[in-house]
Chain A
């Protein structure tokens, strides 16, 4: 089966073959009790028994479940076997929660009922709109209707969270630019919204590259912070009582949602509990035997004022979020008091590597680039390592052409080429009006109401993250011929 993950992730040991020495070493979970001597006995049928010396009681130990977190913490054997990686991250999990909710409501167990929140990415919406011949607004309303009919409580748009991601990215860039002579690895700043790129950097280039990567969270994870922290307060509940699902164009987002950084030990819940790809949502509609066109339209949830009147809004700068567009415009204004009606993107070595500059009096003040797809990532990384990188900011995305071409998007139907479909999805995506994040009054209000100001610690914790080098295991048994 062809893997849905990006090329960058496929390269980094997503490999079905597990050498014997790398087999999972977490077979059982041992309950730890302080100050006592314990023993483990192996039964003839292979089960493990924990012996309590004092009480003389033998307790059968359960096999520990391996989660994606455990796999990510180990550099060894993450496999591309879909059933292993995806079990916790598929529509089955959402159906399980909805079914449980229905049961608990029926028996009046209201404190066990989850509030189910769906956050839909604009890329996924454009992909589904294209497939079903809907406008973006129509698709959004039908998706809202679809999920609410299933029993979900709220349906949001991740574009709102992207406002925060763009604002934090551009502020971070200006800060790094101003510190560029004081801090070694201040520039170039590399965009961080793509989990395929982040995972690849952590696993292959580690401590060298990670300092260059923006600490700003992706829209998905900011949406996670928003829903689990702010929205739970608004509802008067706690984060673990919310089951938060995102709909993404990308399989790598499933890995992102599973990072330890995005898990709350206090509430024992993840910011994003489940990531569905665009294709999985489409599969759900087929499972429900209802075409998206035939779903009853429902008005969009507007808890966060993420709409402009009744309309959806988007951002300039293309289908991957527009980080370069926003960073360079903001920086040109903040640092050099310059504004531009249009930016001129120059295609360099291939369609997926484009450059844009800020010039004044013939002098280049800022130089930024888009680098999409694994080959361009390679060239960026190698130039960085050789000290030959001339850019101040690079928007890095693991998929060729960017997020509209993510591995989780709807595949082309018979008779349509991938390029044609992508062009259609791009047109649909671009049909929504754009708005600068700082024009969104709701965002400005939340910086105060939720985060306590743009420079507060809460703001930093909610909107920024860390990266971790993954050490490689090297031993003779790893070698394959």
Chain B
């Protein structure tokens, strides 16, 4: 059993806050929302304060943000169908590029660990892969039409050049480079409703997903030649559903985050609730049990949750009520 203690409540956004995103060193939190702005928060003493507001670039909701692996670039995606690339190498964040091409709302963005590729997805059912050239120009490397509905999130594998995406079509799809283009090579089906978010554990061998069906699922990669005898194709691993956690949220689960430091899984739900799960290993294999829950984490839907990459147990969450909270988990 653990507990979550509220460390700070960050106010400033004037509309719902869609997403929280820690920078790679865990010192800055980017939040974005319906007020069309991105706020960057940093710690001063025991308080978290708003250091920068990025605005006047997107015409509609900013839905998601992602930091580049070097921490110098921030990608922002918006319902105005554009992707903004902000660069702070000149000292202050400036919007250096606006990527166009999505037909309508862009929902999610993710940087590849190499820093050379960026993935975006949206309501037009496509996943876009952008390649960053030597002159820091972004070019469209591929447009993937694998999903049959709105794509909610994209996520790069931590170690391999493969990309996951999850969608309103209830599936998770896996994409890889094939020659000079990208192709979708596996579809994971088990959720019975929209898959809202996915995350990897620290090894990249397991993945967690959350859904409108109010369940959280754990997936395992089975490598070619695995001892369980799971069939694989070529050199690619086959992903299979390992276990399902249900009964903890009474409404849609909007986001999930798997801590690379502690192995804890945090979930955020439309029932205003935050849950933290920890893994137990017994004779039948790993199971996940509820470690703690905050029933009324926010006054409205919790849209996003993310563990700090460097500070153990530090968790950020955001809500339709317009506030962002920072929590400390302890045993």
Chain A residues close to B by CB (< 8 Å): 7, 10-13, 15, 204, 349-351, 374-376, 378-379, 381-382, 385, 400, 479-480
Tell me if B's interface is mostly helix, strand, loop or mixed. loop
A479 touches B140 (CB 8 A): no
Question: Are A350 and B180 touching (Cβ within 8 A)?
Answer: yes
Roughly how many angstroms separate A204 CA and B143 CA in the complex, as a whole number?
A: 16
Mark contacts of B135-169 with chain A using CB atoms, 8 A cut-off: 1 yes-contact digit, 0 otherwise: 00001111101000010000000000000000000
Most chain B beta-carbon contacts within 10 A, residue among A204, A378, A480: A378
Contact for B140 among A13, A351, A375, A400, CB less than 8 A: A375
**CA of A278 to CA of B142 in the docked complex: distance in angstroms?**
27
Asked if A479 and B103 sit within 8 Å, CB to CB, the answer is no
A351–B143 Cα gap in the complex (Å)?
Answer: 15
How many residue pairs between the two chains, A and B, have CB atoms under 8 Å in the bound complex? 44
B307 interface residue per 8 A CB criterion? no
Contact A10 B140 (CB under 8 A): no
Nearest 4 CB-CB pairs, A to B? Answer: A378-B140, A350-B180, A375-B140, A378-B101
Assess whether A382 is in contact with B179, with CB atoms less than 8 Å apart.
Answer: no
Assess the A479–B143 pair: CB atoms within 8 A.
no
A480 lies within 8 A of B150 (CB): yes
Can you report 11 A-B residue pairs in the complex whose CB atoms are below 8 A from each other? Answer: A7-B143, A11-B124, A11-B125, A13-B103, A375-B181, A378-B143, A379-B140, A382-B100, A382-B140, A480-B105, A480-B150
Which residues of B sit under 8 angstroms from A378, Cβ to Cβ?
Answer: 101, 140, 143
Do A7 and B145 touch (CB < 8 A)? yes
| Chain A, Cβ-Cβ closest to B61 | A479
Contacts of B86 in A (CB 8 A): none
| Contact partner, B101, options A10, A350, A382, A400, Cβ 8 Å | A382
**In the complex, B67 has a CB within 8 A of chain A:** no
Q: How many residues of B contact A (CB 8 A)?
A: 20
Q: Which residue of B lies closest to A380 (CB)?
A: B140
B100 touches A351 (CB 8 A): no
Asked if A375 and B143 make an inter-chain contact with CB atoms under 8 angstroms apart, the answer reads: yes
The distance in angstroms between the C-alpha atoms of A204 and B103, with both chains bound, is: 8
Known A11-B103, A350-B180, A480-B105; judge A375-B142 contact (CB<8 A). yes
In the complex the two chains form, what is the Cα distance from A297 to B179 in whole Å?
42
* Docked pose: A12 CA to B101 CA in angstroms: 11
B123 at the interface (CB under 8 A from A): yes
Point out the residue from A351, A379, A479 that lies within 8 Å of B179, measured CB to CB.
A351
User: Does B41 interact with chain A (Cβ within 8 Å)?
Assistant: no
Instruction: Name the one of A11, A204, A351, A375 contacting B141, with C-beta atoms under 8 angstroms.
Output: A375
Q: Is the pair A349, B139 in contact by a Cβ cutoff of 8 Å?
A: yes
Residue of B nearest to A12 (CB): B103
Q: Please report whether the interface of chain A is mostly helix, strand, loop or mixed according to DSSP.
A: helix
Interface contacts beyond A350-B180, A379-B139: sample of 8 additional A-B pairs, CB < 8 Å, sorted by A: A10-B145, A11-B124, A350-B181, A375-B140, A376-B140, A382-B99, A382-B101, A400-B181
Q: Across the two chains, which residue of chain A brings its CB closest to B81?
A: A204
CA distance in complex: A382, B139 (Å): 9
CA distance A374 to B145 in the complex (A): 11
B60 to chain A, nearest CB (A): 9
Contacts of A480 in B (CB 8 A): 105, 123, 150
Q: How far is it, in angstroms, between the C-alpha of A345 and the C-alpha of B200 when the chains are bound? A: 43
Q: How far is the CB of B122 from chain A (nearest CB, A)?
A: 10
B residues 163-185 with Cβ under 8 Å of A?
179-181
Nearest neighbor of A347 in chain B, beta-carbon distance: B180
**How distant is A346 from chain B, measured CB to nearest CB, in Å?**
14
For residue B126, CB closer than 8 A to chain A, the reply is: yes
Could you tell me the distance between the alpha carbons of A448 and B154 in the complex, rounded to whole angstroms? 59
Q: Output the residue of A12, A350, A375, A480 with the most chain B CB within 10 A.
A: A375
Chain A hits for B103, CB < 8 A: 11-13, 204
| Chain B hits for A374, CB < 8 A | 143
List, in ascending order, chain B residues with CB within 8 A of A385's CB.
Answer: 100
Q: Which residue of A lies closest to B129 (CB)?
A: A375
Chain A, Cβ-Cβ closest to B139: A379
In chain B, residues 90-143, which have Cβ atoms closer than 8 Å to a Cβ of chain A? 99-101, 103, 105, 123-126, 139-143
Q: Which A residues touch B124, using CB under 8 A?
A: 11
- Chain A residues lying within 8 Å of B142, measured Cβ to Cβ, are 375
Q: How far is the CA of A375 from the CA of B139 in the complex (A)?
A: 9
Instruction: Point out the residues of chain A lying under 8 angstroms from B125, CB to CB.
Output: 10-11, 15
In the docked arrangement, what's the CA distance between A465 and B179, Å?
A: 38
Taken together as a complex, chains A and B put the C-alpha atoms of A60 and B267 apart, in Å, by 59
Name B181's closest neighbour in chain A (CB-CB): A350
**Complex contact A11–B126 (CB within 8 A):** yes
B331 to chain A, nearest CB (A): 37
Given the interface pairs A374-B143, A382-B100, the reply to whether A479 lies near B181 with Cβ below 8 Å is no
Q: Is B22 an interface residue (CB 8 A)?
A: no
What is the minimal beta-carbon distance from B300 to any residue of chain A, in angstroms? 15
B239 on the A face (CB < 8 A) = no
Please determine whether B105 and A479 come into contact, CB atoms closer than 8 angstroms.
yes
- Is A351 within 8 A of B79, CB to CB? no
Residues of chain B within 8 A of A479, CB atoms compared: 79, 105
A11 to B124, CA, bound (A): 6
Within 8 Å CB of A13, what residues of B?
Answer: 103
Residues of A within 8 A of B150 (CB): 480
Cβ–Cβ < 8 Å partners of A350 in chain B: 180-181
